[in-house]
Chain A
Amino acid sequence: MVQNKARRKTKRVLSIVLMVIIGVIMFFPLYWMLVSSFRTNDQIYSTTLNLLPTSLMLKNYADLLLTTKFVYWFTNSVLITLSTTLLGLVLCTIAGFALARYRFRFRNAIFLLIFIMISIPRFTTIIPLFKIMSQLNFTDTYLSLILPFAVNPLALFLMKQYLESIPEDLLDSARIDGLNELQMVIRIVMPIIKPAIGAAGVNIVMMTWNDYLFPLVMMSSERKLVLTVGLASLKTLYVVEYGMIMAGSVISVLPLIIAFLIFQKQFVAGLIAGSVKG
C-alpha cells in the first residue's frame, strides 16, 4: 500500500514536470518573437545564448511604423477581416435560415452542393478566380478578397445546424404579430443565435486574418497588402532588421490572441465546430 502511494506520487510529479516542459516548448516561439522584437540583429544572432529579455528597446517598433507601410497593412487586414465577417454573417444567417426553416424545391440538392464544397480546397479556385477578379477590375481592391471569402460554406453549415433548433412557436408568434419573414429574421431570430454567430464569426475571422495565398495573388501595390503578405515581404529586403519583422509579428498576433483570451470558451467551441486550418 505504502509503496503504491509512493509510486503514485512519483507518477504525479513526473507528469507535472512533463507538462511544464511541454508548456515551455509550446510557448517558447511566441515568447521568442516578443523578446526578439526588442533586439537588434546582433543581439538576435548573438554568439552566446541569452534567453532572458535584455532591454525594452522600442526602435524596431518605431522603424516599423515609420519606414514601412505597416500601418496600411494593418488597416487593410482589419477592414478586410471586418467586412468579410460582417457580410459573411449576414449572407450565411439568411441563407442558413432558408435552408433550415422552409421546405422548398431543390432544398436538399442546394444544401448537398454547398456541403460538398466544405472539403474541396479553396486553392483549386485561385487561378480562374484571379481572372474573374481582373475582368471585374477588382484586383488590387478589397473586394477581390471580401467577396469570395464572405460566402463561406462552413459558416453556412454551422448556421443552418443551429437555426434548426429554434422553436417554431417563436416564429409563428412573430408572424401573428404581423412581421414579414425578413423582419422576423432580423428582429426575432438574429438576437437569439449569438452562439452560432460566434462560431461562424470565429471561423471567418481566422480564415481571413491569417490568409496568405489569396492576398498574395490579388493585391499588388505595396499599400494594398495585408499583414501576412506585407510582413513576409520585409524578409526579402536586402538589409533588414529581423527585430522589426518580429515587432510587426507581435502587433499582428495581438488582436486574435487578446480576443482568444477574453472569449476563450466561445473561441474554442467555435473553432471546434468548424475545424479551421491547422
Chain B
Amino acid sequence: MVFDKKKSPYLFLLPFLIMFFSFWLWPILQSLYWSMLEWDGLRAPTFVGFRNYIKLFSEQDYIIALSNTVSAAIVYIGIMVIVALFLGFMLNSSILPGRAAFRTIIFLPVTVSLPVIALVFFIIFAKNNGVLNNIISTLGFGRSIDWLGDPRINLWSIVSLRIWRASGFYAIFILAGLQSIPEEVIEASIIDGASGWKTIRLIVLPLLRPVIIYVIIASSIWAFQLFEEPWILTRGGPVNSTATIAMHVYRNGFQFFQLGYASASAYVLTAIIVVFALIQLLINKGK
C-alpha cells in the first residue's frame, strides 16, 4: 500500500519540500554565493569574495539608501507602536460606544495593498491643489507644502502613510493583549491608589511587553523592505531623498544587471532584519 502509516509522512511532505527547496532555500543559498560574484547574468562570472560588500559601503548612494531605510523603519515602528497602543486602549475602554464599528474602520486600511495606498496618497499629497494642502489652506495656514517633492519631509510623508495603514491592524494585537490581563489586576492597583496613568505605566505596559515586542518584530520585517510607496510615489527622488535598500537591489539587479552586487545588497538588508529581530528577542528574554 502506498499511503500506509510508514510512507505517508514522507509522501505528504514531498511536494511541499520540493517546492520549498526550489523556490526558497536554493535561491537564498544561491544568492549568498552570487553576492561574491561579479556577474551581469550573461558572461562568465568572476569570483570576487567580499569585494561587493566593501564596494557597497563605499558607495555614497548606498549609504544614503541605508540611512533612509533604517531611519524610516525606526521612526515608523516607534510612532506606529505608540498609535497602536493608543488605539488598543480606546478599543478596550468600556466607556466608548460603537467600538465594534470603530474597530472595523481602523482595520480597513490594512486590507488595501501598498501600491494602491501609494496611488491614493499621490493625489492627497499633491503640491498644487491636493486635498491635504487645500484643507490646510482652508484652515488658514496659507502656504502649500510639497509633501513628496521636498527632500526634508518626503520620507516622513511616506512613513506617515505606512503608519496610517498599519496602526489599526496592530492595535488589534494590543487589544488582545489587554483583554488577557485580568481585570482584578487593574482594579486592585486602582484601589491601592495608583492613578490611571500610573496603573498603565507600572502595571499594564509591563504586562503588555511580549505583545509589544511581537508587534515590533512583525512590523520590522516589512518596514526594512520599504519599496512600493517610494518607488511609486517618488522613484527614490529627488536626489535620493527617498531611496531605499530594496530599491537599490531592484535597480542593480533588474535595471543595471549587476546580479552579484545586487545580491550582496539584498543580503545586507536580510542581515539587518535578522539582527534587529534577535536584539528584540534578547531584550525580551533579558528582562
List chain A positions with a Cβ less than 8 A from chain B. 11-12, 15-16, 18-19, 22-23, 25-27, 29-30, 32-33, 36, 44-49, 51, 91-92, 94-95, 97-99, 102, 104, 107, 110, 113-114, 117, 119-121, 123-132, 147-148, 150-151, 153, 156, 180-183, 185, 206, 209-213, 217, 227-229, 231-232, 235, 242, 245-246, 249, 252-253, 256-257, 260-261, 264, 268, 271-272, 275-278
Kindly provide the distance from the CB of B145 to the nearest chain A CB, expressed in whole angstroms: 15
Given contacts A124-B31, A128-B26, A268-B172, 10 further A-B contacts (CB under 8 A): A16-B96, A22-B90, A30-B120, A45-B130, A114-B20, A156-B16, A182-B11, A212-B227, A232-B115, A235-B122
Hey, which chain A residues are within 8 Å of B274, CB to CB? Answer: 119-120
Query: Quick check: B30 and A260 within 8 Å, CB to CB?
Result: no
1/0 per residue, CB under 8 A from A, across B126-170: the answer is 101111001101100000000000000000000000001110111
Asked if A151 and B120 sit within 8 Å, CB to CB, the answer is no
29 contacts between A and B (CB under 8 A): A11-B95, A18-B90, A22-B90, A23-B101, A26-B105, A26-B106, A30-B120, A32-B131, A36-B123, A49-B134, A49-B137, A94-B13, A98-B9, A99-B9, A102-B9, A114-B20, A120-B274, A123-B225, A123-B249, A126-B253, A131-B259, A151-B24, A181-B12, A213-B228, A217-B254, A228-B113, A246-B119, A249-B119, A256-B112
Contact of B105 (CB < 8 Å), options: A23, A104, A217, A249: A23
Residues of A within 8 A of B47 (CB): none
B169 and A124 contacting across the interface, CB-CB below 8 Å:
no
Q: Tell me, rounded to whole Å, the shortest Cβ–Cβ distance linking A64 to chain B.
A: 13
The segment from B51-59, B200-208, B260-268 found at the interface with A is B260-268
Interface string of B252-287 (1 = CB under 8 A from A): 011000010011001101100110010000000000
Given contacts A15-B95, A30-B108, A181-B5, contact A110 B87 (CB under 8 A): no
Q: Are B263 and A127 in contact (CB under 8 A)?
A: yes
Compute how far the CA of A182 lies from the CA of B15 in the bound complex, rounded to whole angstroms: 14
CB-based contact B17/A110 at 8 Å:
yes
Cross-interface CB contact of B266 among A46, A127, A217, cutoff 8 Å? A127
For residue B152, give the distance in angstroms from its CB to the closest CB of chain A.
23
